[in-house]
């Protein structure tokens, strides 16, 4: 009952006061301390242990998260009003998906961003990401279209990928050209963005103009050193990440598919300009770096921005001071790319 009040009060306390009164040192790994406000926030919020949840409980947990987000405003508000429009795209017999458009007060370019939310392909929605995407749209002065793709385990790989192609075709039908569209996503959404571009290459179609991949999930084996170092206690756990991949996977052979396992990416051509964001205290940081090296080694123009004191999911938690600074920083870089 009192947790939402405590957390909301905590979010408005100046960071210097947090540092002044919290004398205990935060975890230090790889010669880097975890951001103190982020550390306290993670220890304040309820812990879910997703890997223990059965398939029948997943809808309940999704609803619980949706209601929880309404109690806490975790993302900074945009400085200017952002208009929101909902569109519904037919993806088959008696089925539609939501594509939500965000129009900033000042649209600077004839450019659109196709956005894919995070949540391991199992959790979250366009609604949960409203504040985050509005903030991005206002900061970038760019229209963003956020896709409410189908979730697993009800919809296994590659259903979300197929839906992303439908969303892209819809943008084409509205007059956008491939060189006017950028893909953007965080975590599972970043995986979906990169997967969509690879699929377009396989089909000899034009890829997007660019892509922003925030702490992407890349490797279903979850075997890098960062998975061991940050296996628990930093919001995303190693066991939860394995659970996400298992819910998405249709068949074990998916792990050899470059659209599923991004570390299998090969023979790329006309790869879009890519900006990758990683966080130090994130189980996924090493696999994202490995993905960067793979595509860079094959000629892609890629830049990675690393925030060593932060954690997986920080881009949606911009009421925390250090995440806010980091997000402003990488959005400025993305704006140059657009």
Res 2 pLDDT > 70: no
Bigger pLDDT: 126 or 47? 126
pLDDT, one tens digit per residue, over 147-189 is 999 999 999 999 999 999 999 999 999 999 999 999 999 999 9
Average pLDDT, stretch 306-314?
98
Question: Would you state the pLDDT for residue 249?
Answer: 98
pLDDT in tens, 37-68: 999 889 888 888 999 999 999 999 999 998 87
- Helix residue ranges per DSSP H, 93-151: 130-140
Rg (the chain; Cα; Å): 19
Q: Are 171 and 146 in contact (CB under 8 A)?
A: no
pTM attached to this predicted model: 0.96
DSSP state of 43: H
Pairing of strands 181-186, 210-214: parallel
């Amino acid at each position: 009952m009192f947790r939402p009040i405590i957390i909301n009060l905590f979010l408005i306390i100046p960071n210097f006061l947090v540092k002044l009164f919290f004398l205990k040192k935060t975890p230090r790994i790889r010669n880097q301390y975890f951001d103190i406000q982020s550390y306290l926030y993670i220890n304040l919020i309820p812990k879910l242990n997703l890997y223990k949840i059965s398939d029948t409980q997943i809808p309940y947990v999704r609803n619980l998260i949706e209601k929880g987000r309404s109690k806490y405003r975790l993302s900074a508000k945009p400085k200017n009003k952002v208009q929101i429009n909902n569109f519904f795209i037919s993806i088959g017999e008696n089925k539609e998906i939501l594509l939500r458009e965000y129009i900033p007060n000042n649209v600077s370019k004839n450019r659109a961003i196709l956005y894919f939310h995070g949540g391991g392909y199992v959790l979250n929605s366009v609604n949960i990401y409203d504040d985050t995407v509005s903030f991005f749209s206002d900061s970038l002065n760019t229209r963003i279209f956020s896709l409410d793709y189908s979730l697993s385990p009800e919809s296994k790989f590659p259903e979300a990928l197929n839906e992303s192609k439908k969303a892209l075709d819809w943008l084409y039908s509205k007059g956008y050209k491939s060189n006017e569209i950028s893909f953007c996503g965080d975590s599972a959404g970043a995986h979906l963005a990169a997967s969509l571009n690879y699929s377009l290459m396989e089909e000899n179609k034009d890829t997007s103009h660019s892509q922003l991949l925030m702490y992407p999930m890349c490797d279903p084996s979850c075997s890098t050193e960062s998975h061991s170092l940050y296996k628990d206690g930093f919001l995303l756990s190693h066991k939860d990440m394995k659970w996400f991949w298992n819910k998405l996977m249709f068949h074990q052979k998916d792990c050899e598919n470059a659209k599923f396992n991004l570390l299998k990416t090969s023979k790329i051509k006309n790869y879009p300009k890519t900006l990758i964001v990683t966080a130090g205290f994130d189980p996924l940081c090493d696999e994202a770096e490995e993905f960067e090296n793979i595509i860079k080694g094959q000629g892609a123009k890629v830049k990675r921005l690393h925030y060593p004191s932060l954690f997986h999911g920080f881009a949606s938690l911009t009421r925390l001071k250090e995440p806010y600074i980091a997000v402003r920083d990488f959005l400025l870089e993305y704006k140059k790319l657009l």
